[in-house]
Amino acid sequence: MLDETIISKAILETYNKKLISCLSLDVAIAGAGPAGIVASYYMARKGLHVAIFERKLSPGGGMWGGGMMFNQIVVQANALGVLDEFDISYKEYQKNYYVADSVEAMSKLLAKATSTGVKIFNCISVEDTVVINNTVKGFVINWSSVGIANLHVDPLTVKSKYAIEATGHPLEVLTVLEKKACAKLKTKTGKIMGEMPMNADKAEKDTIKNTKEIYPGLFVVGMAANAAFGGPRMGPIFGGMLLSGKKAAEMIIKKVGKK
Ligand code: 48H
């Protein structure tokens, strides 16, 4: 006989244990899009304690839908190493344009990251940062449903050595940080510069260039990096997202100094 209360207890006890084990992290990531997931994997592979907090029920961000819901993505040659690392299959379309199935790609990013030890908390939004001595030291989190229902419910906090802003186009975490902490960012203007119109070639280069520690303790990756530094958008080509996540991971691994 299966007992319904044991099913509930199993979920509640193990979830609490999982969340409590992530209250103190090496790296906290806001947003489970391709850039955040790739970053999480490369850091977890080196033994860092990493968790991602994702607003939506389904992690994966904007990759599932390919271009305009035609669920294929394009990746350029310099990012094929990341596809190989995640065992994602692809075909050459023409020189320097490779195509992959977006559902396979995202499924495999998620499978490999989670099986390497990354904890992904879906249905949780990052609503603020913890700032101590002008350094980001973690995230303020709440159930996404609290925000959706506009309930006045106080959040909880996770602390981390480093944090990653990976919320994509809306750049939510950095926007709150800039506003609340009157933070001077490491951009040309010291402020969020905003995303520019489509220019795929420039955008893909900029995404990698703009992957930086934008404020002490806070790295910005993926589409959020271009939104922060005034880079353009690129449409459904994902090499920049993948390489941005990898670059941030390498920068943070160096800082944390763990093998
Ligand atoms: C928790 C949050 C919050 C929050 C948002 O949009 P993403 O896929 O981001 P990237 O940078 O990994 O990839 C960008 C890519 O998908 C894309 O949009 C491209 C290439 N666009 C080109 C173009 O021209 O349009 O993922 C961000 C994730 C999403 O899953 C959000 O739900 C989540 O972050 N998120 N999670 N707390 N406050 N805000």
Report the share of the chain in percent with pLDDT over 90.
98
Residue 142 pairs in a beta bridge with 125
Rounded to 10 deg, the angle between the 34-45 and 102-115 helix axes is: 30
pLDDT in tens, 91-119: 999 999 999 999 999 999 999 999 999 99
Cβ partners under 8 Å of residue 49, min gap 6? 22, 24, 25, 26, 27, 117
Q: Say if ligand 1 is within 6 A of residue 142 CB.
A: no
Three-class secondary structure of residue 148 per DSSP: helix
Residue nearest to atom 28 of ligand 1 (CA): 31
- Mean pLDDT of the region 184-191: 95
Q: Looking at residue 258, what is its pLDDT? A: 47
The Å distance, Cα 224 to ligand 1 centre, comes to 8
- Mean pLDDT of the region 241-248: 98
| Residue 61 phi, psi dihedral angles, 5° rounding | 55, -135
pLDDT over 70 (residue 88): yes
Q: What does the DSSP assignment read for 187-231? A: SSSSS---PBPP-HHHHHHHHHHT-EEEETTEEE-HHHHHHHHTP
Q: Say if ligand 1 is within 6 A of residue 232 CB.
A: no
- Mean pLDDT of the region 131-158: 98
Looking at ligand 1, which atom is closest to the CA of residue 169?
6
pLDDT in tens, 20-72: 999 999 999 999 999 999 999 999 999 999 999 999 999 999 999 999 999 99
Across the chain, how many H-helices and E-strands are there? 9, 11
Q: Residue 243 in contact with residue 237, Cβ under 8 Å?
A: no
Rounded to 10 deg, the angle between the 239-256 and 200-209 helix axes is: 10
The Å distance, Cα 233 to ligand 1 centre, comes to 12
Radius of gyration for the chain, computed over Cα atoms and rounded to the nearest angstrom? 18
pLDDT over 50 (residue 209): yes
Q: What is the 3-state secondary structure (H, E, C) of 4-29?
A: HHHHHHHHHHHHHHHHHCCCEEEEEE
pLDDT over 80 (residue 207): yes
Residue 212 pairs in a beta bridge with 220
Looking at ligand 1, which atom is closest to the CA of residue 235?
24
How high is the mean pLDDT of the chain? 97
Residue 135 pairs in a beta bridge with 132
pLDDT over 50 (residue 180): yes
Q: Looking at residue 68, what is its pLDDT? A: 98
Q: Looking at residue 35, what is its pLDDT? A: 99
What helix, strand, coil percent values describe the chain, rounded to 5?
40, 25, 35
Q: Looking at residue 16, what is its pLDDT? A: 98
The Å distance, Cα 169 to ligand 1 centre, comes to 6
Q: Say if ligand 1 is within 6 A of residue 30 CB.
A: yes
Residue nearest to atom 16 of ligand 1 (CA): 62
Q: Say if ligand 1 is within 6 A of residue 233 CB.
A: yes
Give residue 235's Cα distance to chain centre.
18
Q: How far apart are CA 110 and CA 126, in angstroms?
A: 20
pLDDT over 60 (residue 141): yes
- Residue 249 pLDDT class (50, 70, 90 cuts): very high
User: Which tokens is 203 given?
Assistant: 């955008």
Sketch out the chain's domains with CATH numbers. Answer: 25-61+106-258 (3.50.50.60)
